[in-house]
């Protein structure tokens, strides 16, 4: 879907896991993983719902923003500092 690196927090696994991440990215990443999972679930549901409450709309907006932040150009990775500041 044009998102690089391709991410699916529900399916993503790694043998290295959190050992390869800095402390700040680990701390910020947990909330982002949850936000993306909730966003994907709500986005699928919201296609069929006509009126959404404010909390749901806010979660959808946050999910869209986080998804946009995760997009990176090919061969243009973000530095750890850029990721931490963005999140």
Q: Which residues form the catalytic set?
A: 15
CA dist 57 and 6 (Å) reads 25
CA dist 37 and 15 (Å) reads 21
- The answer to whether 24 and 80 are in contact (CB under 8 A) is yes
């Amino acid at each position: 879907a044009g998102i690089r690196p391709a991410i699916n927090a529900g399916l993503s696994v790694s043998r290295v896991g959190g050992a390869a991440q800095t402390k700040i990215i680990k701390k910020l990443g947990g909330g982002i993983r949850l936000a993306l999972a909730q966003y994907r679930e709500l986005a699928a549901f919201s296609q069929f719902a006509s009126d959404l409450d404010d909390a749901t709309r806010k979660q959808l907006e946050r999910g869209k923003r986080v998804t946009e932040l995760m997009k990176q150009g090919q061969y243009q990775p973000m530095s750890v500092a850029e990721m931490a500041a963005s999140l």
